[in-house]
C-alpha cells in the first residue's frame, strides 16, 4: 500500500514545469501587449504628423510662390501670418537639384531633411516618408510634391523629435514595467516553489523512503500555513495512524491468540490422553468431555465477541424496534442474581424509558456492565443500576463500591483484551467494555467511565430515545480518565 506510482513521483516536477510554462506564457503575453502598444502609439503619432503634412501642402505651395530666399542664406522666419503658421515645418524648393530654403523649424538648428525617394502630387498619391537628416541625427517625416507646369519640386517635412522622444519614453516605461513584472513573477515563482512545492517534494521523498523500507521517515515541515504544508501534516498523521493501526492489529492478534491458547491446549491435551489410552474409566472420560465442552464454549464465546466487534467496526446497522429499558434492566439483574444470589444489586428507575434500538444488543450492554461490576468488586460491595431520562436522551448509570481503577488503568478500560491486573479474575477476555462502547456507538450514544481505587467505578451510557441514524453527524465522547 506504500507503493508510489511513477506519475506521483513526478508531481513536483510537473508542477514546476506547469508554473514555468505559465510564467513564460504570462511574460510572452506581456511582451506581445507591449509590442502592440508601442506599434499602435507609433502609428498613431505618425498618422497625426502625416495629416499635418497633408493639410499644409496647399499652403506650402502658395508660400513657395511668394517666398524665395537663396538656399545658402541663413533662414529667417517669415513675418507674415502664413510664415508663422509654417514655423513648425521645413519647406524648401528643389529646382534642377538645387534646394532653396523657405522655412525651417526653430528647434532643429541647421538640420535639413533628406530628399524622399518618391514624388507626390497635391491632389493624388500623397506619400509621406520617414527620412534622416543631411547632417545630424534628427529624423523627419517628409513629402516631395511636384508643382504643376513647373520643374520645381517642393519639399515639406516635419521633425519627428517629439515623436521620437515620446516613443523612447514609452519604450523605457514599458521596459521598466516589464522588469518589475519579471521580478514579481520570479519572486512569486520562488515563493511558490519554496513554500508550496517543497513540502510536496518532501512528501514524495518520504514516500520513496517508506517504499524502500524506512517506516520511521516523516515530513519535517512544522508549520501549517499553506495547503501543501497541511498536506504534509496530513501525510505524517496518516503514517502515524497507519503504524498505530498495525500495532493495534498485531496486539489484537497476539491477545486473541493468547486467549485461544488455553482452551485449545486443553482440548489438544485431552485428545492426546485419549489417544494414548489414559482415559479408561467412565468418570475420567466424563470429566474430560466436560472440560472439552467448557473450552469449546470459551472459544465459541470469544469468536462470537470478535465477530460482533468486527460487525460493529464495519458500521452495520442495528435492528430498530421499541425497547423498554426498565423491563430489560430487571431481566438482566434477575439473571445476574440467579448466577450469583449472594450479591446485592440495587435498581433505581427515575423515569420509564422506551427507546428505538436492538433489544438483544442493548441487553448485552446492560449485562456486560452489571457482570463487570460483580466480577471486579468484593462480595459485599453493592452494585447500583439507575435509569433516567434527560429530554430525548436515556441515561443508564451503573455504580459499584470498589475497588476501582487508577487513572492509568481507566484510560485502557475500553481497549480490547485489556484487563487491569493479574490479581483479578481472568474469566473474561477483556472484550466486555469494548463491546459496550461499540453497541452504544451504533445506537448514536456515548459512554463515560469514572473510577477511583477507593470509591469504585461509575459508568454512564447515554442513548437517544428517537430513531436517529447513528452514523450521521453524531459525536461519541468517551472520557475514561476523570476521577470522582
| C-alpha grid cell, residue 185 | 513573477
* Residue in 141, 167, 156, 38 with CA at minimum distance from that of residue 103: 156
Contacts 24+ apart (CB under 8 A), 302-307: 302/256, 302/259, 302/260, 302/429, 302/431, 305/429, 305/431, 305/435, 306/256, 306/431
Report the pLDDT value the prediction gives residue 62, as an integer from 0 to 100. Answer: 62
Q: Where are the domains of the chain?
A: 1-212, 227-312, 317-464
List Cβ neighbours of 84 (8 Å cut-off, separation of 6 or more).
77, 78
From residue 230, alpha-carbon distances to 7, 202, 278 in Å are: 22, 13, 68
For the chain, the residue count is: 484
| C-alpha grid cell, residue 253 | 492478534
Which stretches in the chain have pLDDT values below 70?
Answer: 1-16, 58-87, 121-125, 193-197, 221-226, 228, 255, 258-259, 419-429, 466-484
Report the pLDDT value the prediction gives residue 122, as an integer from 0 to 100. Answer: 59
Report the pLDDT value the prediction gives residue 284, as an integer from 0 to 100. Answer: 77
Report the pLDDT value the prediction gives residue 427, as an integer from 0 to 100. Answer: 54
Give exposure, 282-306, as e/b (b: 16+ Cβ within 10 Å).
Answer: eeeeeebeeebeebeebbeebeebb
Q: 0.75 exceeded by the pTM?
A: no
The CATH code for residues 227-312 is 1.10.287.130
Burial (Cβ within 10 Å: 0-12, 13-18, ≥19) of residue 394: buried
Report the pLDDT value the prediction gives residue 256, as an integer from 0 to 100. Answer: 73
Q: How far apart are CA 335 and CA 331, in angstroms?
A: 6
Topology annotation, domain 317-464: Heat Shock Protein 90 (3.30.565)
Please give the angle made by the CA atoms of 434, 428 and 361, to the nearest 5 degrees. 45
Amino acid at each position: 500500500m506504500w507503493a508510489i506510482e511513477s506519475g506521483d513521483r513526478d508531481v513536483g516536477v510537473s508542477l514546476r514545469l506547469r508554473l514555468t510554462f505559465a510564467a513564460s506564457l504570462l511574460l510572452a503575453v506581456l511582451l506581445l501587449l507591449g509590442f502592440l502598444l508601442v506599434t499602435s502609439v507609433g502609428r498613431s503619432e505618425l498618422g497625426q504628423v502625416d495629416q499635418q503634412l497633408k493639410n499644409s501642402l496647399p499652403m506650402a505651395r502658395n508660400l513657395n510662390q511668394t517666398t524665395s530666399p537663396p538656399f545658402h542664406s541663413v533662414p529667417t522666419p517669415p513675418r507674415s501670418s502664413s510664415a508663422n503658421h509654417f514655423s513648425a515645418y521645413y519647406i524648401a524648393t528643389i529646382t534642377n537639384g538645387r534646394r532653396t530654403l523657405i522655412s525651417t523649424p526653430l528647434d532643429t538648428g541647421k538640420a535639413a531633411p533628406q530628399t524622399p525617394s518618391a514624388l507626390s502630387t497635391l491632389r493624388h498619391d500623397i506619400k509621406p516618408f520617414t527620412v534622416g537628416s543631411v547632417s545630424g541625427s534628427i529624423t523627419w517625416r517628409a513629402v516631395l510634391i511636384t508643382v504643376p507646369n513647373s520643374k520645381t519640386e517642393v519639399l515639406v517635412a516635419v521633425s519627428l523629435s517629439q515623436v521620437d522622444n515620446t516613443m523612447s519614453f514609452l519604450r523605457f516605461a514599458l521596459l521598466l514595467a516589464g522588469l518589475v513584472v519579471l521580478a514579481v513573477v520570479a519572486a512569486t515563482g520562488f515563493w511558490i516553489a519554496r513554500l508550496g512545492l517543497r513540502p510536496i517534494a518532501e512528501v514524495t521523498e518520504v514516500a520513496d523512503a517508506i517504499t524502500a523500507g524506512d517506516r520511521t521517515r516523516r515530513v519535517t515541515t512544522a508549520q501549517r500555513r499553506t495547503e501543501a504544508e497541511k498536506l504534509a501534516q496530513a501525510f505524517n498523521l496518516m503514517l502515524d495512524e497507519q503504524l498505530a493501526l498495525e500495532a493495534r492489529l498485531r496486539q489484537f492478534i497476539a491477545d486473541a491468540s493468547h486467549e485461544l491458547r488455553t482452551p485449545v491446549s486443553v482440548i489438544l491435551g485431552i485428545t492426546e490422553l485419549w489417544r494414548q489410552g489414559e482415559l479408561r474409566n467412565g468418570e475420567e472420560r466424563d470429566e474430560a468431555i466436560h472440560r472439552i465442552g467448557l473450552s469449546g464454549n470459551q472459544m465459541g464465546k470469544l469468536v462470537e465477541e470478535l465477530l460482533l466487534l468486527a460487525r460493529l467496526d464495519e458500521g452495520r446497522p442495528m435492528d430498530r424496534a421499541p425497547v423498554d429499558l426498565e423491563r430489560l434492566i430487571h431481566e438482566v439483574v434477575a439473571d445476574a442474581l440467579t448466577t450469583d444470589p449472594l450479591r446485592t444489586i440495587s435498581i433505581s428507575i427515575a423515569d420509564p424509558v422506551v427507546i428505538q434500538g436492538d433489544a438483544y444488543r442493548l441487553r448485552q450492554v446492560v449485562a456486560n456492565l452489571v457482570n463487570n461490576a460483580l466480577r471486579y468488586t468484593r462480595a459485599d460491595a453493592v452494585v447500583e443500576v439507575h435509569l433516567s431520562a434527560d429530554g430525548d436522551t436515556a441515561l443508564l448509570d451503573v455504580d459499584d463500591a470498589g475497588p476501582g481503577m487508577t487513572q492509568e488503568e481507566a484510560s485502557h478500560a475500553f481497549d480490547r483484551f485489556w484487563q487491569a491486573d493479574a490479581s483479578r479474575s481472568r474469566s473474561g477476555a477483556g472484550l466486555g467494555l469494548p463491546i459496550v462502547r461499540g453497541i452504544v456507538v451504533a445506537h448514536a450514544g456515548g459512554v463515560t467511565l469514572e473510577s477511583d481505587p477507593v470509591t469504585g467505578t461509575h459508568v454512564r451510557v447515554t442513548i437517544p430515545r428517537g430513531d436517529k441514524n447513528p452514523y450521521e453527524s453524531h459525536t461519541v465522547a468517551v472520557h475514561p480518565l476523570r476521577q470522582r
